[in-house]
Amino acid sequence: MPELPEVETVRRGLQPVMEGSTIVRAEARRKDLRFPFQKDFVARLEGQTVTGLGRRAKYLLADLASGDVLLMHLGMSGSFRVIEGGDQKAPGKFHHPRAEDRAHDHVVFHMSSGAAVVFNDPRRFGYMKIIARHALEGEPLLSGLGPEPLGNEFDAAMLARSCANKKTSLKAALLDQRVVAGLGNIYVCEALYRSQLSPRRLAATLATKAGSRNGVTAGQRESVAGGEPTDHAKHLVNAIHAVLNQAIKAGGSSLRDHRQTSGELGYFQHSFQVYDREGEKCQTAGCSGTVRRFTQNGRSTFWCPKCQK
């Protein structure tokens, strides 16, 4: 499933053709994707100007002049392509080319700029929903999400506070969208590797025990719900920031079906330091270890047992 960098890449590709333009005509070519379309789905879109195109975790959010918000999720195989004057491009990048079967073009937005924005989804795990802006905060799909990993709120103290009392593994905690929004298997593996932390490490070790450090006031201890962020937490947050920014700059990871709206494939997979490198020599300077893979919470985990502790 596309992760935060891929969705952000798609957002940036769609922004120039959607933001500030009006949806002259909308087509929903079937009654449902993963979920049924709302009965008034098309009616609430047509004639509306897209005033902004944002992202929350792995969701795209198109603000409409009416006060509604169009929420869009790519699912497993969803992609957008933009058709302008006979030319086609698709924002987002993946390793394996997408299917070109136009029978899976399920939603089309005809914009006042003359461009057509087409959503293609062979597996139909993607979905779209229109939500009133004032109801967005209470929307079940969004209400439980944690902080954005590239936002100002996400820092070592917040991560430590979220993990202080968890009995799960560190990797499982990072994949929990309530702890931090938008991270997925690839970037969690990469961030843990870069911060030299084991995916099996207990998440609670990111916070010190309350009162364990001299000079810490009661108020400070309470602020991190059981202790201060450890150096591990600080290194991990820095690694998360670095890997996400690098992946966004590279246009995402080209895995399975992901493409940019330009149609080009991503190349961050060429920068993987641990993901999908089972059996290869560890790239950490001075480490003689070998990258291993094991299944964790139903997902493949790649790590170096020698330098990740």
Task: Please give the positions annotated as active site.
Answer: 2-3, 58, 299
Query: What are phi and psi for residue 231, nearest 5 degrees?
Result: -60, -30
Distance between CA atoms of residues 198 and 205, nearest Å: 11
A 10 A CB-CB count for 218 gives 9
Q: Are 272 and 21 in contact (CB under 8 A)?
A: no
Count of H helices and E strands in the chain?
8, 11
Residues 221-253 as b/e (b if ≥16 CB within 10 A, e otherwise) read beebebbbbbebbbbbbebbeebbeebbebbbb
Query: What are phi and psi for residue 16, nearest 5 degrees?
Result: -65, -30
